Amino acid sequence: MAVVGAGFTGLSAALELARAGRSVLVLDAGAPGEGASTRNGGMIGSGHRVGLARLTRRYGRQTALMLLKEGLAAQDFAMEFIEREKIACDLARTGRFRGAWRAAHYEAMGRETDELRQAIGLEADMVPRAEQHREIASDAYHGGVVYHRHGGLHPGLFHKGLMERALAAGGTVAGSTPVTAIARGAGGIQVQTARGRIAARDVVVATNGYTGPLTPGLRRRLIPVPSYMIATEPLPPGTVERLIPGGRMIVESRSRHCYYRQSPDKTRILFGGRASLTTIDPRAGAGILHRLMTGVFPELSEVKVTHAWRGFVAFSRDYLPHLGPRDGLHYALGYNGSGVAMAPYLGHKIALQVLGRPEGRSPFDATAFPAIPFYTGRPWFLPPMELAYRWRDRREGSR
């Protein structure tokens, strides 16, 4: 059994398969975790971005509700898994505050929250602008909504814990081993790597934002988009608790999609967002993110950025994650920037599918995985989209 990609998806699949008695080899082109899984904001949410109205238009109300409930299941799975496995990764059930960039966004959030409370039992409460200082020391938003069951973790420690569990279960993880070709034959699947060839009965592809020419059928269904983050220098004691008094994860409704939080050790602010749709130097990304951070917290204008980095996430045409069999392989990917819960969840699900277990089924099986027209894997349209977004950002007052 071979797994391509040693991030949350691949390791979660490997753990399940190894515990079921399968011999598992996880192969990664770089150091295990070097993809998005150790570079993210560590925010645990419900794992996909498509709202009830849009899902209902596409699939009908029953499937829409199942897809939304699957998001809640992913979030519960991730947190319960970490607690059950006793993975020390600063997991905190903090809840998440989503700030409304415009008054109209606040009204729309209120309507959707009411509907989701009724339809799927979403645990969320609106926070009017007059009360938002209990969530954040900023007037940047027109109020917002708190999602009570969301949380946060330290992604590097979660990845480490997951890898230790997969190894302890008997799995093997090989870094610096790019898979260069996969061929199906009578005796199983031949997996060619830069370090030699292996034969496998099954292969799980877990390459998400790093999906390349190895799997052209998946590549033309996913757009790799860079996501940028910064960490401030350590702030004076008590500052991060004052800026984000409840310690919640923070996101917002503006199209910049800024997301930020206290660092797990409560000394810094970690701030991410769409610095650019194209691949720019993380130092240039840091300048943009610093400006955006100062827009939210003007008092941080003189604070230095000590770390800046980026990683790649994978967007699908329908903004939903996908899993299943394709071309004789199994895959789980397409997390649209929200994979901290969904990636380990669907890694686990795809492993159960490989094992032929009915619990491996997911409502995401029922949604087609659409190809992207005029696209084979080089996202030529991102530079013009970036220009369009800049215009939109200026109208939104984000630049």
Ligand X SMILES: Cc1cc2nc3c(=O)[nH]c(=O)nc-3n(C[C@H](O)[C@H](O)[C@H](O)COP(=O)(O)OP(=O)(O)OC[C@H]3O[C@@H](n4cnc5c(N)ncnc54)[C@H](O)[C@@H]3O)c2cc1C
Q: What is the binding site for ligand X (CB under 6 A)?
A: 4-10, 27-30, 34-37, 39-43, 45, 178-179, 206-210, 212, 214, 227, 229, 259, 272, 311, 313, 333, 335, 337-340, 343
* Cβ proximity to ligand X, 10 vs 143, nearer residue: 10
Identity of the residue, 113 or 338, whose beta carbon is nearer to ligand X in the bound complex: 338
Q: Which is nearer to ligand X, 100 or 323 (CB)?
A: 323
* Minimum CB distance to ligand X, residue 63 (Å): 23
Closest listed residue to residue 44, CA positions, set 127, 138, 141, 148: 148
Asked whether the beta carbons of 45 and 150 are under 8 A apart, the reply is: yes
Residue nearest to ligand X (CB): 339
On whether the CB atoms of residues 5 and 329 are closer than 8 A, the answer is no
In sequence order, what are the residues at sequence separation of 6 or more whose Cβ sits closer than 8 angstroms to the Cβ of residue 202?
Answer: 1, 2, 189, 329, 330, 354
State the nearest-atom distance from the C-beta of 43 to ligand X, in Å: 3
Q: What is the smallest separation between the CB atom of 159 and ligand X, expressed in angstroms? A: 8
d(CA 371, CA 366): 16
Cβ proximity to ligand X, 259 vs 364, nearer residue: 259
Of 122 and 142, nearer to ligand X (C-beta) is: 122
Q: What is the CA radius of gyration of the chain?
A: 21
Q: Give the list of residues 6+ apart from residue 262 with CB closer than 8 angstroms, or none.
A: 240, 241, 243, 244, 247, 268, 269, 270
Strand partners, 6: none
Cβ of residue 224: shortest distance to ligand X, in angstroms?
A: 10
* Shortest distance, position 349 Cβ to ligand X, whole Å: 13
* CB environment 56-79: b (16+ within 10 A), e (fewer): beebeeeebbbbbbbbbbbbebbb
Closest residue by Cα to residue 32 from 207, 287, 185, 283: 207
Question: Cβ of residue 270: shortest distance to ligand X, in angstroms?
Answer: 9
The minimum distance between CB 155 and ligand X, in angstroms, equals 7
* CB nearer to ligand X: pick between 144 and 337: 337
Q: Considering the complex, what minimum distance in angstroms separates the CB of residue 132 from ligand X?
A: 21
- Helix 103-120 with 61-85: angle, nearest 10 deg: 80
Q: At closest approach, how far in Å is the CB of 128 from ligand X?
A: 26
d(CA 179, CA 201): 16
Considering the complex, state which of residue 142 and residue 189 has its C-beta at the smaller distance from ligand X: 189
Q: Are 60 and 134 in contact (CB under 8 A)?
A: no
Whole-angstrom CA distances from 329 to 200, 203, 212 are 11, 5, 15
Q: Tell me how far apart the terminal alpha carbons of the chain are, to the nearest angstrom.
A: 48
Nearer Cβ to ligand X (106/228): 228
Q: Nearer to ligand X by C-beta: 276 or 338?
A: 338
